[in-house]
Amino acid sequence: MHHPSLLDILGHIPLFVWGILAFILVMGLRQTRTTAMTARRLMILPLAWFCFGAWGVDSAFGLVSAAGLAWVLGLAGGVAAVRALKWPGNARFDDATQRFVVPGSWVPLGLMLGIFTLKFASGMSLALHPEIARHLSFAVGSSAVFGLFSGAFLGRSINILGARPRALAAVAA
């Protein structure tokens, strides 16, 4: 039985995957600088990761499954953990510019790379060993971690919006 080499594997990775990685690196590096943003802009990243996570779980295992439930529970756990940690703690609302000032951090880049790595590793695992999609522990475990990462971004945005309670109510409406 032939086991593919690393070069064989890398040669079969679609180019768009490297484009996604480049985009993640650019977006993550931008997050390392203090940034002023609107409430709408604050919600773009968590909504993008929410959709990416839901798509990933649905395409691999189906959302209406134990994996889908694990993803939802992971999402709630990520929100709860970040809310409890109050990350990022020094965000504030600037009345003069009507924007949220968010301190720079390497954490978003780490989270984004974590999501990318997990999606890449699970995709490669499923491509090389399609039968693991039927393993409940693989489906539930990877889905829960996807949810946890996505929930962390949502919790972060909720915490930042909390710097101006009216903004949180407006986004919820």
Given this model, what pLDDT does residue 172 score?
62
Determine the Cα angle at 59 with ends 53 and 63, to 5°. 70
Determine what percent of the chain falls in helix, strand and coil, rounding each to the nearest 5. Answer: 70, 5, 20
Residue 82 has pLDDT above 90, yes or no: yes
Given this model, what pLDDT does residue 99 score?
94
What ranges do the domains of the chain cover? 6-172
Given this model, what pLDDT does residue 127 score?
82
Give the C-alpha distances (Å, rounded to integers) separating 54 from 11, 58, 74, 141. 27, 6, 12, 15
Query: Which residues, 6+ apart, have CB-to-CB distance to 149 below 8 Å?
Result: 49, 53, 78, 111, 114, 115, 118
Q: Average of pLDDT values for 83-108? A: 93
Given this model, what pLDDT does residue 27 score?
92
119-173 pLDDT, tens digit each? 888 888 888 888 888 899 999 999 999 999 999 999 999 999 988 876 666 666 6
Given this model, what pLDDT does residue 148 score?
95
Residue 49 has pLDDT above 90, yes or no: no
Full-prediction pTM beyond 0.85?
A: no
Cβ-contact 88, 163 below 8 angstroms: no
Q: Report the alpha-carbon distance of residue 69 to residue 74 in Å, rounded.
A: 8
Phi-psi region of 20 (alpha: psi -120 to 50; beta: other; left: phi over 0): alpha
